[in-house]
Chain A
């Protein structure tokens, strides 16, 4: 009487699963193409990161921090990187960086144009908003499963699920930033006979850039937050070390790998934030 009637239960998930099955069978070539293409790019990036001499990488980070923040933070970040190396996680850090960089770049390539589209089309915004909400609130493990089906184990499903998770902030903030350009400024541009493209490239995007950069920063941090989850589908790197430490209940290892992720996060966050602030300061 008080229980929900059994006869009304209906499993919708079955159809989703059928769809995924159907896609894996009939769209195999398509997914294979993506996998092969993406894998090639990722391998190039990975090889480059690993090939780079360790001191050179530290120098680059130091110089970036010096340029956009201060000498003190440059030294601090260099020490962080040294520590990660001392823990023996240099290569793992590079794998993680490869995941983060590639998924952030792809997120931006997709997210910024879609954000601009959202700003210009009320209809697209109405459709896109709930999808973005879903992308961010759905537990990340859920979309790891179909990603596994389509692309198998490894870096690719890791990158793709990271993109799904990291895409919304940059898309949302791009939308917000473009809409936030004052009406009079847009009117001024139009009143001189600008085309839509001139309005976008000469006025709206430059005006929106500081906010878009804040979105880039957030997207980067989201991508970094996916590192451990992505390791579940077999992405090598610091996340995998944390995961194995968890499996072995190895506190020492867990601490070292965990703190390494924190260091990396601090460095990436502070440097991207400083760069995005420098856009604001130019005004």
Chain B
């Protein structure tokens, strides 16, 4: 994993003399005190982050936490009062006007909460805007814009005007416009907040699919914990202009850094965050195919089980055998092979608990967690439910 962006001690203060306020901030004055005493608003307070190449990095916080201010520092729509932003080894805060233009034209693009579309231009012209600014020829830029529109599923809408489109479609245009420039970094400022819940969910899934294909570095802002944990590879939680915790969704969920974050994640739908991997257990007993019926019965008896998974020597799952079937087989002299069943449920390590719930209802055996055909672990039915209760 290579480092794409490094945010070092970035501070943004609004007011007539922001530079002078930094000292009071370093002395430990609070945001509220500074506002009361000097009339300056501290938007972002000494934030440091490291964002990796190809990562979906989510910055989450309530309104007023400084997340939108922070993301605007990344492409210098807000010039940081102090600190540096290093992209591919270069500090972009030191760029002159021309270098900054170049940086924005080629490396970084942004998607906005209320879409920020140009309603005097058609959808296609909107998408071609970034290329037009770069002075790409008309023919070429319209071709690229067309491809970009197809990527987001808006083929056939090229000649409409933005306000003829629904909110979800407008944001697709915003996304296509950002992608048309083929930037390394995509900044998304609450892109789905203005959409209604059904559309939002659809767009989230599409973004995840798209990201699997494109592998951009995405910085995604949201105030919605569920959204953050659903799409983020890593999540930074902001409060009062500061970053409170950075980590993978599972990290934050399992060990929240403080009470604030704990309260924040309390209401989260854990079934969409926790993966099978996180809750599976090593099977107490396994029977190999060549072991035979006797061994199977002994394993089940000594572990108090009513069924056991059967594997071959490479741990490839072959089936499951119940205690009743094994006893019958012993009585009638059948082989283990002839009594194993295949009516168990399987899942992959990356599957979310929410997908396991249905499976747990369907079967009376533990769920087998597989990689290919290899048995990694099992999830007993009771564990599926107990995993959803927060500690």
Interface stretch, picked from B48-56, B107-115, B269-277, B375-383, is B107-115
Residue A188 lies at the interface, judged by CB distance under 8 Å to chain B: yes
What residue in chain B is nearest A188 (Cβ atoms)? Answer: B116
14 additional A-B pairs beyond A192-B133, A193-B133, A202-B129, beta carbons within 8 Å, are: A184-B112, A184-B115, A187-B77, A188-B118, A191-B77, A191-B108, A192-B109, A193-B102, A193-B103, A193-B134, A195-B133, A202-B133, A203-B118, A207-B118
User: Do B116 and A190 touch (CB < 8 A)?
Assistant: no
If over half of B's interface residues share one DSSP class (helix, strand or loop), that class is named, otherwise mixed; here it is mixed
Residue A206 lies at the interface, judged by CB distance under 8 Å to chain B: yes
User: Do B104 and A192 touch (CB < 8 A)?
Assistant: yes
User: Do B116 and A195 touch (CB < 8 A)?
Assistant: no
B-facing residues in A16-53 (Cβ within 8 Å) = none
- Given known A-B contacts A198-B133, A283-B163, A191 and B118 have beta carbons under 8 A apart: no
B-facing residues in A192-233 (Cβ within 8 Å) = 192-195, 198, 202-203, 206-207, 209
- Given known A-B contacts A191-B77, A192-B181, A283 and B118 have beta carbons under 8 A apart: no
What residue in chain B is nearest A198 (Cβ atoms)? Answer: B133
Residue B75 lies at the interface, judged by CB distance under 8 Å to chain A: yes
Residue A121 lies at the interface, judged by CB distance under 8 Å to chain B: no
- B 124-148 to A, binary, CB cutoff 8 A, 1 in contact else 0: 0000011011100000000000000
A182 CB contacts on chain B under 8 angstroms: 114, 116
Residue B298 lies at the interface, judged by CB distance under 8 Å to chain A: no
B110 CB contacts on chain A under 8 angstroms: 187-188, 191
Q: How far is the CB of A61 from chain B (nearest CB, A)?
A: 29
Residue B105 lies at the interface, judged by CB distance under 8 Å to chain A: yes
Residue A72 lies at the interface, judged by CB distance under 8 Å to chain B: no
Kindly identify which residue among A187, A193, A207, A283 contacts B101, using a CB–CB cutoff of 8 Å: A193
B117 CB contacts on chain A under 8 angstroms: 185, 188
Query: In the complex, how many residues of chain B place their beta carbon closer than 8 angstroms to a beta carbon of chain A?
Result: 33
Residue A7 lies at the interface, judged by CB distance under 8 Å to chain B: no
B106 CB contacts on chain A under 8 angstroms: 193
User: Do A188 and B133 touch (CB < 8 A)?
Assistant: no
Q: How far is the CB of B188 from chain A (nearest CB, A)?
A: 12
User: Do A188 and B101 touch (CB < 8 A)?
Assistant: no
Kindly identify which residue among B102, B113, B120 contacts A184, using a CB–CB cutoff of 8 Å: B113
- Given known A-B contacts A193-B105, A195-B101, A187 and B120 have beta carbons under 8 A apart: no
Residue B202 lies at the interface, judged by CB distance under 8 Å to chain A: no
Residues of A whose CB lies within 8 Å of any CB of B are: 182, 184-185, 187-195, 198, 202-203, 206-207, 209, 282-283
What residue in chain A is nearest B135 (Cβ atoms)? Answer: A198
B109 CB contacts on chain A under 8 angstroms: 191-192
What is the CA–CA distance of A182 and B100 in the complex, to the nearest angstrom?
23
Q: How far is the CB of A154 from chain B (nearest CB, A)?
A: 42
Residue B161 lies at the interface, judged by CB distance under 8 Å to chain A: yes
Residue B206 lies at the interface, judged by CB distance under 8 Å to chain A: no
Q: How far is the CB of A180 from chain B (nearest CB, A)?
A: 13
What is the CA–CA distance of A189 and B133 in the complex, to the nearest angstrom?
9
User: Do B112 and A193 touch (CB < 8 A)?
Assistant: no
A-facing residues in B35-49 (Cβ within 8 Å) = none
Between A and B, 17 residue pairs with Cβ closer than 8 Å are A182-B114, A184-B114, A185-B116, A188-B110, A188-B112, A188-B177, A189-B133, A191-B77, A191-B110, A192-B104, A192-B109, A192-B130, A193-B134, A194-B133, A202-B129, A202-B132, A207-B118
User: Do B116 and A193 touch (CB < 8 A)?
Assistant: no
User: Do A283 and B116 touch (CB < 8 A)?
Assistant: no
What residue in chain B is nearest A187 (Cβ atoms)? Answer: B77
Residue B32 lies at the interface, judged by CB distance under 8 Å to chain A: no
Residue B119 lies at the interface, judged by CB distance under 8 Å to chain A: yes
What is the CA–CA distance of A192 and B75 in the complex, to the nearest angstrom?
10
What is the CA–CA distance of A188 and B129 in the complex, to the nearest angstrom?
10
What is the CA–CA distance of A202 and B125 in the complex, to the nearest angstrom?
11
Q: Which 10 A-B pairs have the closest CB atoms?
A: A188-B116, A193-B104, A193-B105, A184-B116, A192-B130, A191-B110, A206-B120, A193-B101, A184-B112, A194-B133
What is the CA–CA distance of A193 and B76 in the complex, to the nearest angstrom?
11
What is the CA–CA distance of A192 and B105 in the complex, to the nearest angstrom?
5
What residue in chain A is nearest B187 (Cβ atoms)? Answer: A191
What residue in chain A is nearest B180 (Cβ atoms)? Answer: A192
What is the CA–CA distance of A184 and B174 in the complex, to the nearest angstrom?
12
Q: How far is the CB of B71 from chain A (nearest CB, A)?
A: 11
- Given known A-B contacts A191-B104, A191-B109, A193-B101, A209 and B134 have beta carbons under 8 A apart: no
User: Do A207 and B105 touch (CB < 8 A)?
Assistant: no
B134 CB contacts on chain A under 8 angstroms: 193
A193 CB contacts on chain B under 8 angstroms: 100-106, 130, 133-134
What is the CA–CA distance of A182 and B114 in the complex, to the nearest angstrom?
10
B104 CB contacts on chain A under 8 angstroms: 190-193
User: Do B120 and A283 touch (CB < 8 A)?
Assistant: yes
What is the CA–CA distance of A141 and B14 in the complex, to the nearest angstrom?
48
What is the CA–CA distance of A203 and B117 in the complex, to the nearest angstrom?
10
Q: How far is the CB of B16 from chain A (nearest CB, A)?
A: 13
What residue in chain A is nearest B77 (Cβ atoms)? Answer: A187
Q: How far is the CB of A267 from chain B (nearest CB, A)?
A: 28
What is the CA–CA distance of A184 and B162 in the complex, to the nearest angstrom?
15
User: Do A187 and B132 touch (CB < 8 A)?
Assistant: no
Question: Among the interface residues B101, B116, B121, B161, which one has the most CB atoms of the partner chain A within 10 A?
Answer: B116
What is the CA–CA distance of A189 and B77 in the complex, to the nearest angstrom?
11
Q: How far is the CB of A281 from chain B (nearest CB, A)?
A: 11
- Given known A-B contacts A191-B77, A195-B101, A282 and B120 have beta carbons under 8 A apart: yes
User: Do A283 and B161 touch (CB < 8 A)?
Assistant: yes
Kindly identify which residue among B116, B130, B177 contacts A187, using a CB–CB cutoff of 8 Å: B116
